[in-house]
Amino acid sequence: MAARKRAMSASTFRRGINIWPPFLFAGIRVLAIAADFRSAKVRLRLGRLNRNYVGTHFGGSLFAMTDPFWMLLVMENLGRGYVVWDSAAEIEFVSPGRGDVFAEFVLTEERLDEIRELTRDGQKALVWFETEVLADDGTIVARVRKQVYIREKRPKQPLPDQPQRERQPAL
């Protein structure tokens, strides 16, 4: 499959999202995004601004560190011919996060083929992706599931009661 031109490189995106206020002030840092947008690795540091009442990671920060990545990876790999949106999410808190935590996202060609098959002929697909948030020692802190809505874009059709206008060349 031919590589498509991206709006921005993965490294530019990574630098930009790392200074985006919701990530910056929550202690979330994108450590890596593959050049082909097939994988990403994210870290959440425990600090004064994201600690909860009992001194562990605030659940909203754990969720935020995983929020945009499945949609982003799918969107970048399917291209402009698809509509891709987050549709639903759930998080299960497994153990307290008392230090740095990490999440990794890997989008395989097999998963992309599955999505293309599900969306063939203009069908929508609601696809679930799972991510574990892990402590430094590998302990599971949270499990996050994201449901992504995916559909091929429909060709633009003129409204039935609107006559087609020919485009006049600029003079």
Instruction: Tell me how crowded residue 154 is: count the other CB atoms within 10 A of its CB.
Output: 8
Query: pTM to 2 decimals?
Result: 0.84
Measuring CA to CA, which residue among 17, 40, 28, 31 is closest to residue 131?
40
Q: What is the pLDDT along the chain (171 residues), one digit of tens a residue?
A: 444 567 789 999 999 999 999 999 899 999 999 999 999 999 999 998 888 999 999 999 999 999 999 999 999 999 999 999 999 999 999 999 999 999 999 999 999 999 999 999 889 999 999 999 999 999 999 999 999 999 999 877 766 766 666 656 665
Q: Give domain limits for the chain.
A: 10-152
Measuring CA to CA, which residue among 132, 148, 28 is closest to residue 88?
148
> Domain 10-152 belongs to what topology?
Thiol Ester Dehydrase; Chain A (3.10.129)
